[in-house]
Amino acid sequence: MPSKNFTIGHLARETGTKVPTIRYYEKIGLLPEPFRSAGNQRLYGADHIDRLAFIRHGRDLGFGLDAIRELLSLTDEPEQTCERADAIAAQHLREVENRIARLQALKAELERMLDHQCDGELADCRVIEVLADHRHCLHSDHQRID
């Protein structure tokens, strides 16, 4: 049992993570199972706070859970080179750059739609026209931007 134990509420407050998220991270194996008291209450140690902070920071930077899982596994073997961690970060950077490009194309399309504003009736509305007929778009390969 660790020398200092924290409840799940304390862990949540300390890391700015919601309790259901902590439980989810435990369920999928990102966060190790905590020690349980005689009353079956979860008790966390400083290592849980550090690991959850790592996960939160990774999520804040947009890394997916699989990438975070792999990065966490790398931390268990600190004698390794940085090559794999760098490759994971480089892949994520490419994904971010692709998303930025899609967002810029989306922005341009929306600006173009609004450049043709009309003060007339809805039948003359460029926004409705473009949304109703994809052929009016500059880019026919719109994807949902998450």
What pLDDT, in 10s, does the model give residues 75-89? 988 888 899 999 999
Which stretch of 27-36, 40-49, 102-111, 128-137 has the lowest confidence by average pLDDT? 128-137
- Which two tokens mark 30? 């990102």
| Predicted local distance difference test score (pLDDT) of residue 23 | 95
| Predicted local distance difference test score (pLDDT) of residue 25 | 97
- Which two tokens mark 61? 């930077």
Give the residue among 26, 65, 14, 57 at the shortest CA–CA distance from 35: 26
- Alpha-carbon distance of 10 to 50, in angstroms, equals 13
Other CB atoms within a 10 A radius of the CB of residue 74 amount to 16
Please state the pTM of the whole predicted model: 0.76
Instruction: Please classify residue 68 by burial: count the beta carbons closer than 10 Å to its beta carbon, then call 0-12 exposed, 13-18 middle and 19+ buried.
Output: buried
Percent of the chain with pLDDT over 70: 85
CB of 75 closer than 8 Å to CB of 118 = no
CATH number of 8-75: 1.10.1660.10
Instruction: Please classify residue 49 by burial: count the beta carbons closer than 10 Å to its beta carbon, then call 0-12 exposed, 13-18 middle and 19+ buried.
Output: middle
Q: Where are the domains of the chain?
A: 8-75, 83-136
Other CB atoms within a 10 A radius of the CB of residue 57 amount to 12
